[in-house]
Chain A
């Protein structure tokens, strides 16, 4: 089976048949900002969960003079730096929804197009073993994209409650004090803390599903799903490309 590499900048040439049925085509899906923000977010979450879990339940304790130790202090410091990476990463990814290629746009998360709405249903049927083949989408399948919408919402809630809790102890004169307006919206600092903690578990549960499904899909579909988040390329069956509307491909974009 031969593979074909394609880059996806819009091309104004007349449509061409670029692949034969049954052929796997190498498609550049995830641009570098998408991959960078993905890994920044992933590792930030890892750090945030570890330090955050300690902050909620300090299982490492020390003895001796208090002046000689700074365990919780370091956990908090690392948590805050990881939070900066996380927040900037999420914001960058959201901005990229309006700047990036066709696979990264906002409408991959909010299914406004009829095709993605039916695709959402068909993806669900595929995962419930009602369909043999997944509907042919090159980037996020509509169900995954819709799930990520809720993941992003949890991210926003985590950023908001995190900033609200940070504002409690932000020094006088710190610009972060402006986020104290979020405290009443969360129902007070104790509620913000509870929401922040529950949000962590929701993200961790999602992460288990996310990693597992990515590995599973790589195995079942054999399309390089996991590897695509490093390289940016996916291996897509020709039929899916045609279904996804890749009729504008130019011979220049095709490397045989």
Chain B
């Protein structure tokens, strides 16, 4: 079989993507997946002949940011074609069908291919009011997710809303929004791609991994692929040397900020956020938030928003002490308070000891007795 016989290579040719570019893409994917360089060959060989996996893309409480990330409005690249290898049977934003027709397509996929398709979920699933906050075709997001994810070969929760609840789940979470793992417990092969939005490079790498190895990559405790979420942003940060040295941005636009010092004192959440942003970057490797002088806001972590705000402070405040409270302020005054309370106690103790020594009947008796004895001695001493 000559190369141009297989559909993938034909597709590359038709779109004007050179063989060289494709091999370059495979090398890049091997790097994102933290595989050795030689893995690029395996990836290239497997991706060409892989069968198109069928995919349905569910959108619930979202802003379609992950769809934007998926569609990437830029020139066609090898990555686009790999993403196009997915046969997208249902995607509300990009499908041609509408209304009942579209819902029928989804129902058909679920019915005809149980356990034979990949469900991608974007957006959180509201559970309040029996799921009434998000309904599609008269069915709640929860019902749809249960049915579609429950019958899928694998479910990819894309974006922080779908993984952990994200913005809709921020306090007070009026809709009872949950991520897929919590809303539909026990989903088979759930893979979380958190971040707001998830980086399309990581979605591509996930697909490439699956096409190459026919299985899903190793995951962390939150079911996120280790190749993308195995290291903290802090540990791969290009400004890390400034952190270790003790060089920090103190104010926006100051000398340190212009020089590119560490953003730790501006509330950077890089040390507690797991993502490969520093390596993979965004918009085809153009730049990333810290690279352009803004601290990481920790968008890839559980309870993003509630726990990561205020964005420009190291820690969130103390509950019950107001939004502007800081742990250090409350802790300092609590320590002073304890000191003051025990100082007061100490003075009372000493005062009590003095009072008893002066006024207690037993003490008075003892004092009188001592006085008597002294007087007797004085008398006895006299000739």
Contact = CB atoms under 8 A, between A and B. Distances in A.
A69 B247 CA distance: 9
Nearest to A56: B314
Interface stretch (A8-16, A33-41, A202-210, A236-244): A202-210
Contacts of B342: 208-209, 212-213, 216
Please classify the interface of chain B as helix (H, G, I), strand (E, B), loop, or mixed, using the class held by over half of its residues.
helix
B77 interface: no
B301 A68 contact: no
B37 interface: no
Nearest to A128: B345
B94 interface: no
A35 to B, nearest CB: 24
Contacts of B272: 168, 188-190, 192-193
A62 interface: yes
B303 A188 contact: yes
B331 A60 contact: no
A189 B304 CA distance: 12
A190 B318 contact: no
A95 to B, nearest CB: 30
Interface in A113-137: 127, 129, 132
A197 B246 contact: no
Interface stretch (A102-110, A142-150, A178-186, A226-234): A178-186
A57 interface: yes
A161 B323 CA distance: 24
B234 to A, nearest CB: 7
Nearest to A62: B246
B367 interface: no
A136 to B, nearest CB: 18
Nearest to A194: B315
A219 B350 contact: yes
Contacts of A92: none
A127 B345 contact: yes
A32 interface: no
Interface of A: 56-58, 60-63, 66-73, 127, 129, 132, 168-169, 180-181, 183-184, 187-194, 197-198, 200-202, 204-206, 208-209, 212-213, 216, 219-220
Question: What 10 A-B pairs come out closest when comparing CB atoms?
Answer: A201-B331, A71-B246, A189-B272, A69-B245, A66-B241, A73-B244, A66-B245, A190-B272, A205-B335, A205-B338
